[in-house]
Structure 1
Amino acid sequence: MEFEIGTLSIILIVGLLALISIGVPMGFASGFMGAVLVFLYIGEHALGILLSRYYSLVVTYSFLSVPLFIFMASLLERSNIARDLYDALNAWLRKTRGGVGVVTAIMATIMAAMSGIIGGEIVLLGLIALPQMLRLKYDQDMSIGIICASGSLGTMIPPSIVLIIYGLTTETSITMLFQEAIVPGLMISGLIITYILIRTRLQPHLAPISDEPALTLKEKMSYLPGLLPPIGIVIIVLGSIYSGMTGITEAAGMGVVATLIIIFARKELTWFLFKDALTRTFKASGTILTITFGATVLAGAYSLAGGPKYVAETILAYDLKPMYLIFMMQIMFLIMGAFMDWVGIVLLAMPVFLPIVLALGFDPIWFGILFCVNMQVSFLSPPFGPAAFYLKSVAPPHISLTDIFRGFAPFIVIQLIVLACVMFFPEAMTQNFHEFKPKP
C-alpha cells in the first residue's frame, strides 16, 4: 500500500504522539514509527541504510565526549566538591537578602560549566540548597524555581550536551556553538540572579536574612579553597577548547582525569564512588543511545521518503517573511519540548527544519543557539518538564509535583526573554552575526 508523503507525515505525527501518550519510551516509539514508514513507503532494503546512518553517528569521535562528560558529572555528584563550593559561596553571601538563592544560581552556573549535565545538577542542588532555603523560611515556590531553572543551565552553558548533539546532527562546528552560547547562557544566569535580588528586596518576607552571625574577612577567606577545584576543572575543560589546544572529546577526557585526581587528592575516591559513577554513566548513555537509535531510524526513513523536501517546499510556498518562519519553528519547539525529550527533538526536527533555515539564508550556528535556549524552556515546561521530576526525587514528601511546577512561571518568562533577545537581536547576543544575511 502506498501513501502520499503528506498523508504519511500525518500518520507519523499521530502515531508518534499516540505511542508517547500511552507511555511508550521515546526511543522505541520513534523507532517503531520509523520501521512502519520503511515498510509502507520504502521497503525492507532501506533498513540497512538506516542502521549504517545510526552507526556513522555514534562512532563519530566527538560523540565520545557525551559519556565522558556524564561520567565527570557523576563523579562530581558523588564527591564533596560541590558541597564545598556551596559552603564557600554561602560564606560570602549569607548576610545578603536572597543570598542563598544567589549562591544556588552561581553554583549552578559553575557546575554547568564543569560538566554540561542537567539532571544530576538539579538533584544535587535539591539535596544541598533546598533544605537550607526551607530552613531559613525562604518562599517555597521561589526556592523550587531557583533550583530547577538554575540547574537547567547545563543546556546552554558549554560544555552543553545539547550543543554537542545538535552539532553532530547538523554537522556544524561544536566549538563555534560553544562560543556563541556563552553570552545567552550567562544572560539567563544573570537574569535569574537579578530577579532574586529585586524580588526579595520588594518582598523581604520571601527571603529572611539568616540569624547566624556574620563571618569575619579572615573566616570568609578560609572558605576560598573550596572554589579552587571547580574553577580549575572549568579552566581545564573550556580553556583547552577555546585555546585551540584540544577538541571537545580530548577536553572531556582531560576533565575526567582532572576530576579523578582532585577527588583522589581529597581522599574521597573509593571503589564504591567510582563504580556508582560508572553505573550512572552507563545508564544515562544507554538512554541517550536508545533515543538516538529510534529517532535516527525515524528521521532517516522520513528523509529517504522525501519528507524534509516536502515540508520545506510546503512551508516556503506560503512566501512568509523569514523571521515569521523562524518564529513558527520556535513555537513548534516549545510545544514539542512540553511532551518530548530534547534528544528526540533535535534528531527528528533538524533534518526537516535545517534545510529551511539554510534556504532562508540563516546561520545554523545561530539557529542552534535558538534551539538550545528553547530546550532550556522545555526542562521547566509542564506537563513533562524533566526538572520537576528530578527535583521531586529528592524533595521533602510534602512538596508535590503541582507545587514544583507552580514555582516555574517567572523563570520560564526569563528564559523566553532571552529566547526573544537571541532571535531579534542576534548582533548583540552572538559574535558572528555579520557572517550571515537573512533573505528579505
Structure 2
Amino acid sequence: MLMSLGIGWVTLMILVSMIVLLLLGMPLGFMTGFVALGVSYLWFDTTQIMQMVAGRVSDFTTGYSFVAVPMFVLMASMLDKTGIARDLYNAMRVIAGRLKGGIAVQSLVVAVVLASMSGIIGGEVVLLGMIALPQMLRLGYQKNLAIGTIVAGGALGTMMPPSIVLIIYGLTANAPIGNLFLAAVPATAILAGMYVVYTLILCNVRPDFGPAMSKEEMSNLTRSDMIKIAKDILMPLLIAGCILGSIYAGIASVTESACMGVVAVLVVAALRRELSFSIIFGALLHTIRTVGMIIWVGIGATMLIGIYNLMGGDQFVSNMILSLDIAPLTVILFMMLILIVLGMFLDWIGVAMLTMPIFVPIITQLGYDPVWFGVLFCVNMQVSFLSPPFGPAAFYLKSVAPKGIELTDIFRSVWPYILMQIATIAIIIAFPGAITFMYK
C-alpha cells in the first residue's frame, strides 16, 4: 500500500510518526521498533522482511566488539561506587589549589583522567557534582563557572577513549575502533584545552570568579598526607595506562582492553580494601540497566534503518543530497546541523543508529574519512549532552546539585562551553590533520 506513495512521502510519514510517538512519551527503543514493524507490514511481506531484520539485529548484539560496551560500563560503575575517583579529586585539589581558578582547572584534569577510564558521562558528572561543585562554591567560585566546569568536564567521558560513543559509532559505521580512539585523543585535548584556557583567562581577569585556596589550608599537610596523595593519583593513572597503553601498544584489542580495565579496577579496589559484595552487586545491576537500554535502542534503530534501507531509503537520501549543487563542505556542515538538532531531542545512541547508516556512505562517496567523521560526530554529541531542553549532563548534575541550584541555572551556565564545542568542530573540519595524524 505504501509503495504506491513513493519513498519520499514514506520518509516524511516515518519522520512525522516518530515525532508524534516521542511527544506521546514512547521510549525511543520501542518507538523505532514500532514504526519499523508498521512500515514493513504496509510495504513488504512482513515474514520475509522480519527474517532479514532479525539477522541484522543478531549481528549487532552478538558482535565481538560489542562486548567492550558492558565491560566499560561495569568499569565506570566500579569507579563510581568505590572511592578511587573521589580520592583522585581530593589529591589533585592539593596540587592546583594555589592557582587562580585552580580548583576548576583541576576538576577538568580529573574529568579527563576519569574519562580515560570509563567512557560514559553519568558517573563522572554525578561524582564531580557531589565532590567538586560544593567545594568550588565553598571557596567562593562564581556559580556559573563552577556549574559549567562540572557539566562540560563530566561530558568529556564520552569523547576520550575508551568512549562508548566511539565504540557504537564504529560498530554502526563499520569504522576501525582503534583508529577512532587514536583520533579522539587530540580532539579531546583541543576541547579540554579550550576549557582550561577559558577558565584561567576568566579567573585572572576576574579573580573573584575563582579565588585560590588559603595558604593555611595548604600548609597543614603532613608527610603521610603527601604519600597518600601520591598513591591516590598513581592508581587511577595505572588503570588508565592499562587500558589505553594496551590498545596503543598493540597488546590488546579494544574489547580485550575493556576486560583488562575491569580487572585493573577490581585489583585497585581490593588493594584499597574497598572491594565488597554490595559494591560488585550494585555495579553489576547498574551495568545491566545501562546496557539493556543501549541494546533496546540499538535493536529498534537497527530494525528501522534496516527496513528503510531495504525500501531504498538510503539511496533516496544519498541521491537527494549528492544531487544538490553544493560543495562537499556544505554537506558536512548540513549534517552537523542535523546532528545538533536531533541531539537536542534524542539520546545519542538513537542519533547514531538512525543517522550513521545513511550519513557514512554519503561522506565516503564525497571522499571524506569515516574515522575523521566519527570524531566530528563525537564532538557534536558533546553539544547534545549540554544543550536544552534534554541535555542529559544537566539533569545528571541537577540530581546531586546543592540546594539552590536549579535546572535553569545549569542551562544558563553551559553556553560558553557549547560555543567552545562548536569551535572545536570548526577546527577539526578546517584542519582534519589535527586529529588524523594519530593513525595515518
TM-score band, normalised by shorter chain: over 0.9
* Pairs aligned (count): 434
| Contact 2:186 2:434 survives alignment (8 Å) | no
Look up the match of 1:307: 313
Separation in 1, partners of 2:199, 2:304:
43
User: How far 1:93 moved relative to its partner?
Assistant: 1.2
Residue 56 in structure 1 maps to residue 62 in structure 2: no
Q: How does 1:88-237 map to 2 (within 5 A)?
A: 88-211=91-214, 212-215=216-219, 220=226, 222-237=228-243
User: How far 1:432 moved relative to its partner?
Assistant: 6.5
The one-letter amino acid paired with 2:184 is A
Runs of at least 4 residues of structure 1 off by over 4 A?
Answer: 216-222
User: How far 1:85 moved relative to its partner?
Assistant: 0.6
The one-letter amino acid paired with 2:94 is A
Identify the match of residue 304 of structure 2 among 288, 298, 304. 298
User: How far 1:186 moved relative to its partner?
Assistant: 1.2
Residue 337 in structure 1 maps to residue 343 in structure 2: yes
Identify the match of residue 76 of structure 1 among 75, 79, 100. 79
Instruction: Report the secondary structure of 2:141's partner residue.
Output: coil
The one-letter amino acid paired with 2:305 is A
Separation in 1, partners of 2:14, 2:287:
32
Alpha-carbon deviations, 1:367-408, whole Å to 9, x = none?
111111101111001101000111111112321111110110
The one-letter amino acid paired with 1:335 is V
Q: How does 1:408-423 map to 2 (within 5 A)?
A: 408-423=414-429
User: How far 1:99 moved relative to its partner?
Assistant: 1.1
User: How far 1:428 moved relative to its partner?
Assistant: 2.5
The one-letter amino acid paired with 1:187 is I
Look up the match of 1:328: 334
Separation in 2, partners of 1:137, 1:48:
61
Look up the match of 2:20: 18
The one-letter amino acid paired with 1:348 is L
| Contact 1:421 1:429 survives alignment (8 Å) | no
Alpha-carbon deviations, 1:9-60, whole Å to 9, x = none?
1011111112112221111111111112111212312112111101111100
| Contact 2:247 2:254 survives alignment (8 Å) | yes
User: How far 1:106 moved relative to its partner?
Assistant: 0.4
Separation in 2, partners of 1:203, 1:280:
41
User: How far 1:213 moved relative to its partner?
Assistant: 3.1
Separation in 1, partners of 2:438, 2:246:
21
% identical equivalent positions = 44
Alpha-carbon deviations, 1:261-308, whole Å to 9, x = none?
110111101111111011000000111011111111111111111101
Residue 368 in structure 1 maps to residue 371 in structure 2: no
Separation in 1, partners of 2:111, 2:23:
32
User: How far 1:221 moved relative to its partner?
Assistant: 5.7
The one-letter amino acid paired with 2:217 is P
Normalised by the length of structure 1, the TM-score is 0.96
Look up the match of 2:29: 27
Instruction: Report the secondary structure of 2:386's partner residue.
Output: coil
Separation in 2, partners of 1:270, 1:131:
28
Separation in 2, partners of 1:430, 1:250:
24
Look up the match of 1:438: none
Instruction: Report the secondary structure of 1:213's partner residue.
Output: helix
| Contact 2:114 2:124 survives alignment (8 Å) | yes
Q: How does 1:248-259 map to 2 (within 5 A)?
A: 248-259=254-265
Instruction: Report the secondary structure of 1:384's partner residue.
Output: coil
User: How far 1:415 moved relative to its partner?
Assistant: 0.7
Separation in 1, partners of 2:38, 2:357:
19
Separation in 2, partners of 1:96, 1:432:
32
Instruction: Report the secondary structure of 1:379's partner residue.
Output: helix
The one-letter amino acid paired with 2:18 is L
Separation in 2, partners of 1:47, 1:317:
32
Identify the match of residue 42 of structure 1 among 41, 44, 59. 44
Identify the match of residue 286 of structure 1 among 289, 292, 299. 292
| Contact 1:137 1:207 survives alignment (8 Å) | yes
Alpha-carbon deviations, 1:81-120, whole Å to 9, x = none?
1111111111111111111101110000000001111111
Normalised by the length of structure 2, the TM-score is 0.96
User: How far 1:180 moved relative to its partner?
Assistant: 0.7
Separation in 2, partners of 1:52, 1:414:
41
| Contact 1:184 1:429 survives alignment (8 Å) | yes
Could you tell me which runs of 5 or more consecutive residues in structure 1 were left unpaired when the two chains were aligned: 436-440
Instruction: Output the aligned Cα RMSD.
Output: 1.4
